Chain A
Amino acid sequence: MSTTTLTEKPGKPRKPGKPSELGSGRRLLRGLPWLVIRQHRIALACVLGLTVLTALWILYERHELVQLLDAKGWPEKDPGRPMDDDRGYEYITSIINGLPLILAVFVGAPLIAGDQESGTAQLVTTQSVTRRQWLIAKLGLAYTLALVSGLVVSALFTWWWKPHRSLFLSEWIDGVIFDNTGPVLPAFLLFLTAAGITIGALARRVLPAMVGAFLFTAVTSLFVWDEVRVRLGSPKMFTYPMDTELPARFNDAYEVDRWVGSADGTLYNWGRCAEATEKATDACIKEHGIVNDVIEYIGYNQMAGMQWLASGILLAGTALLTAFTLWWTSRRPL
């Protein structure tokens, strides 16, 4: 019999029945966690690699910014516009915006669909593990990956943005800031990973699952979430005399709408008196007794609350999708 076929250490005869280096040995990972990590190690390495790269890049960019600001004597002196044309910021935010797509399409969608398509779902569940144990190990891996990646990137990005937010071009309510800081990014990644897994479990084939997850992620992050985000806050009104400046404390408030108002509190559309000539405009203002400008706004102080509310919604969605996937895959043949 050939001795080169198996990785046997020469001169160390094994006793039959004893575990050899092929079967077990002292290892850190055991059982199902070992299996799912081994199976998905490429996806795991790619996502973790991207996370580390982004994290290091943010550290570097923040360091550069702090150095520049120190040199210019910020915040006492005006530092100019250091964030304009910042290529690093653009690249980093592109990567972060791509993370949900990567997790949904390349981690979530094939997670169960891949095993169903190749029959390895059957292979694993006819070993001495139940289908539920296997599903939990798979979901655990995907969710841990989403959570770790989301927490690391979000923490660093928040740490870069928050102290210097007046210098960033994007408003706090913009997706690029709101969705990528605080608890929202991890929750968003978890939700879309869960959505990808669910789509995969329903489709049972990798390619349709990936296409489905791509479309779902695109529609959710491009259209649906933009509508949801602004509805999370409770808009407030602020009235101030016409022809005066809006107080500086509203600089970072998100303006939902703008009105003009008369002394008795009646509100008119902002363009109510936009006439062709100044004379006509003045006449219109006089006619309606308009004396005030009114803004409807969501203050920056609401951001934290809105972010936690957003995370709550996304985590509830994740829980629902997870429960559905477990129920669906345990009642149908794999």
Chain B
Amino acid sequence: MADTSTPNATSGNWALEARGLGKHYRRGWALRDCSFRIPAGRICGLVGPNGAGKSTLLGLATRQVQPTTGDLRVFGVPVDDPAVLPQVAFLGQDKPLFKRFTVAETLRMGAELNPGWDAAAAERIVRAGNVPADARIGTLSGGQRTRVAFALAFGKRPDLLLLDEPMSDLDPLARDEMSTLLMAEAVERGTTVVMSSHMLTELEDMCDYLLVVSEGRIRMAGDADALVPAHTLVTGVSRDGSLPPELTGHIVVESRVQGRQFQAMVRPTGPLPADWERAEPSLEEVLLAHLRSPDAPPLYTQGARVDAEGTQAA
């Protein structure tokens, strides 16, 4: 298992730390009994189908939503403490900005409302996109508006940047440009980034940490480098049209029987029979298998899990 960033008890090293976190709406639980950790300095992908609870999780981290149960800490500080505010920046799905403000006024807003405002960084981001400072936000293109929203988020000099499907409404060129910008800024500052996305390729390229949510629960959490190798895609001969008994010893995420053959995504707990064909799945295959089978047991890599008492479990 990768142990590159699994800091010890000092919780300041965890960008996000959730214990028994849950949110109940009138229609039911949007998020239930979530316990996980995200180490500082990582780019974390938040993956899950629509309605899985991704936006609720980001809403909880940005104080837009109040939890029903459990608690959430940002760099060790409870999220409802106003001291968290300057540390976290958020970029929502529709990137709301004041439409009648000019670009310059939008950046001034950032300066007025954030104590640690980095005007030079914000201006650099805007200028790099050739966005005119005196243009009103309402007249900008989608890509330019996203750039201004990014400038506002990075100008805040956050330690944790939360992004809710930031690229979903951008054309491929603008998406590429924004991804590059995001990675450059985040790496330069050591900013922890948590971004939800539907684009699995985008996640594969950018993220080194993953949080997979489905039906309001955590399915997987941990290093992207450790999550994928934990899985094996096996193909073998089926017994009378059903799965062979040798599989039961291993954790089966997803399985399929086709004629005389079976195929399964497993997390091996011991040696696999030699006559099975083995393949290392791609990240996309692992994610899809987990999203398709919400009943598969969740997987946490070392350090990603916290139990209710806060002690570390493997």
Contact = CB atoms under 8 A, between A and B. Distances in A.
Interface of A: 1-2, 4-7, 14, 16-20, 22-24, 30-32, 34-35, 38-39, 118-120, 122-131, 331, 333-334
A130 B63 CA distance: 9
Contact of B59 (A22, A35, A130, A333): A333
Interface of B: 59, 62-66, 82, 85-86, 88-90, 92, 94, 96-99, 101, 104-105, 107-115, 117-120, 122-123, 126-128, 130-134, 156
Contacts, number: 116
Given A23-B117, A31-B113, A120-B98, A2 B156 contact: no
Contact of A119 (B89, B94, B111, B128): B94
28 contacts: A1-B127, A2-B127, A5-B133, A6-B126, A6-B133, A19-B111, A19-B117, A20-B123, A24-B112, A24-B119, A32-B112, A35-B113, A38-B105, A39-B101, A118-B96, A119-B94, A120-B97, A122-B64, A123-B98, A125-B64, A126-B62, A127-B110, A128-B113, A128-B114, A128-B156, A130-B82, A333-B64, A333-B65
Nearest to B108: A23
B26 to A, nearest CB: 12
Contacts of A5: 126-127, 130-133
A17 B98 contact: no
A16 B120 contact: yes
A34 B108 CA distance: 10
Contact of B96 (A31, A120, A127, A129): A120
B85 to A, nearest CB: 4
A20 B59 contact: no
Q: Which of B63, B113, B127, B132 has the most CB of A within 10 A?
A: B113
B96 A23 contact: no
Nearest to B91: A126
A118 B64 CA distance: 15
A30 B134 CA distance: 20
A19 B119 CA distance: 6
Given A22-B133, A119-B92, A128 B108 contact: no
Contacts of A7: 104, 133-134
A123 B156 CA distance: 13
A253 to B, nearest CB: 53
The A interface, classified by DSSP as helix, strand, loop or mixed, is loop
Contact of B63 (A24, A35, A38, A125): A125
Contacts of B123: 6, 20, 22-23
Contacts of A119: 92, 94, 96
Contact of B113 (A20, A129, A131): A129
Contacts of A19: 111, 117, 119
A126 to B, nearest CB: 4
A84 B112 CA distance: 54
Contact of B111 (A4, A23, A331): A23
Contacts of A30: 112
A46 to B, nearest CB: 15
Nearest to A4: B132
Contacts of B117: 19, 23-24
Contact of A331 (B66, B86, B105, B113): B66
A129 B127 CA distance: 27
A23 B122 contact: yes
A38 B101 contact: yes
Q: Which of B66, B108, B114 has the most CB of A within 10 A?
A: B108
Contacts of B114: 127-128
A26 to B, nearest CB: 13
A24 B113 contact: no
A17 B115 contact: no
B147 to A, nearest CB: 12
B136 to A, nearest CB: 13
A6 B127 contact: yes
A126 B94 CA distance: 14
A206 B99 CA distance: 15
A126 B89 contact: yes
B66 A128 contact: no
A118 B99 contact: yes
Contact of B115 (A14, A22, A118, A128): A128
A118 B97 CA distance: 8
A317 B288 CA distance: 56
A131 B108 CA distance: 19
Contacts of A14: 120
B92 A122 contact: yes
Contacts of B119: 17-20, 22-24
Contacts of B131: 5
B129 to A, nearest CB: 9
B113 to A, nearest CB: 4
Given A17-B120, A38-B105, 7 more contacts: A6-B127, A7-B104, A14-B120, A19-B111, A123-B96, A127-B156, A130-B82
Contacts of A24: 108, 111-112, 117, 119
Contacts of A32: 112-113
Q: Which of B98, B132, B156 has the most CB of A within 10 A?
A: B98
